[in-house]
Amino acid sequence: MAAIAGRVCVTVVLLVCVLGGQALDLLMGTTTSGSSPSTPTVRCRCASYPNVTLCSWPEPPHHPPTHYVATYSERHRQSVTKHCHLIQPGSSSSDVISASSSSSDRLWHCHMPSLKLLTDYIINVTAVYSGSSSFHLSSFMLEDIVKPDPPVDVTVSPRDSKRLLLQWSPPPTWAHLDIFPLKYQIKYQRESRGIPRSYNLGPIESNWVVLKLKPGAYLFQVCAKELLNLGECSDWSSPVKN
């Protein structure tokens, strides 16, 4: 939907989504007096439930905005709006946050501390350009966007002539392991050929598993998920070989 008044063009796109386990895009729009600016594409993730929530978006490579304005509020208390703590691409904090991301984009991050549990939030990210602006409006609930970082220190060693011991450590960014435990999923396949196979470990937290496999070279990976199935599993850890 677009409206033109004089030399100013206003474009609004309404997105209606019914999807579980992720933030929902509600509205995107631009106001321009010249060429149309790039609209931020915002994705939100809770890497350590419940206190480490970040919404991220890539900076346009060719025509970056002069600055961003990012605010958030409870969906049913939109009159109480808070400003995000913005983390710029290239900063030391951004480098640490982006280390677990496979994206090559320069990412901006919005840190939202101490969000309430079981509460709908709305985030509004506005990119301000010279003579124009664009915005992205998203809604999320903290429990739907939980996604830990991958497990670390994954190793595999012979247990005996027929079994292998696979071990790992929980992601160091998951701060409250004693209160919100993680469970794990294992994936393995033959190095040269073979179909990947995976299975979930039981509900009791464990950082190791003994596997009985046919002789050969295998690749192993592990992902982590919140014990009560909040959100989704982490990305797979880097593969290790026996």
Q: What is the pLDDT of residues 86-142, one digit of tens each?
A: 998 877 665 556 555 555 678 889 999 889 999 999 999 998 888 778 888 889 999
The domain over range 152-241 is classified in CATH as 2.60.40.10: yes
Rg, the chain, Cα only: 22
Q: Could you check whether 2-144 and 152-241 share the same CATH topology?
A: yes
Amino acid at 210: V
Measured distance CA(119)–CA(41) in Å, rounded: 23
Measured distance CA(210)–CA(167) in Å, rounded: 9
Answer for the pair 15, 42: CB distance below 8 angstroms, yes or no: no
Give the CATH H-level superfamily of domain 2-144.
Answer: Immunoglobulins (2.60.40.10)
Measured distance CA(164)–CA(213) in Å, rounded: 8
In the chain, what are the domain boundaries? 2-144, 152-241
Here the contacts of 152-158 (C-beta below 8 Å, separation 24 or greater) are 152/237, 154/220, 154/221, 154/222, 154/237, 154/238, 154/240, 155/240, 156/218, 156/220, 156/240, 156/241, 156/242, 157/242, 158/242
Residues 180-234 have pLDDT tens digits of 999 999 999 988 877 888 888 877 668 999 999 888 889 999 999 999 999 999 9
Residues facing residue 83 across a β-bridge: 71
User: Is the pTM for the entire model greater than 0.85?
Assistant: no
Query: What are the Cα distances from residue 200, in Å, to 40, 158, 177, 205?
Result: 36, 21, 19, 11
